[in-house]
Structures are given as C-alpha cells and as structure tokens.
Amino acid sequence: MPEILAKKEGRTYLLDLILFGLQGQIRVKGQAYNGAMPAWGPQLKDAEVAAILNYVTQAFGNKPLRGSSPTRPARWPRNGPRG
C-alpha cells in the first residue's frame, strides 16, 4: 500500500478500484494475480467510499504518509475511471 500511495495518482487509483472495480492480471511485488474485483460505486455512498479508503491506507501495518490527510467524503465522478 505505501508504494501505491507514494505515487502522484495513488489515491486516485485506489478510488477508481473501489468505484469501478478491476479485472485481469496485476502484479504485486512480483506476484501475479488474475481475478476480478466488482465495482462498488453504485452501491456505496461517498462517506462509505471515504471510510474504506481511510481504512485500507491505515490498516495492515500501513502508516499514513507524511503530510497526507484522511480522505473526506466528496462527489466523485461515477461514470468511469479517470486516466
């Protein structure tokens, strides 16, 4: 998680994963994973999406990045990933 968050668009990537899902192969620390994660955007309220982002970025031994602030509920576009 720290590697994703350290990137300029790391939070946007995580937000897109939650809202729009992911399908196909990805590599994480050299390990290949091939599966599907459903899109949750239609089912979740903005506050719930923010809560998920805050949880995954601070759980599992992750520490908030220096200078980062918690994700706040917002009106995110729900019509497709941003690129």
Average per-residue pLDDT in the chain? 78
Q: Give the type of residue at 1.
A: M
Question: What secondary structure letter does DSSP report for 30?
Answer: T
pTM of the model: 0.68
Q: Is the pLDDT at 76 greater than 60, yes or no?
A: no
What is the pLDDT at residue 1?
74
Instruction: Let me know: does 15 contact 51? Beta carbons within 8 Å.
Output: no
Range 36-42 average pLDDT:
89
Give the CATH fold of the 2-58 domain: Cytochrome Bc1 Complex; Chain D, domain 2 (1.10.760)
What is the pLDDT at residue 9?
84
What is the pLDDT at residue 51?
86
What is the pLDDT at residue 71?
62
User: Residue 37 and residue 29: Cα distance in Å, rounded?
Assistant: 19
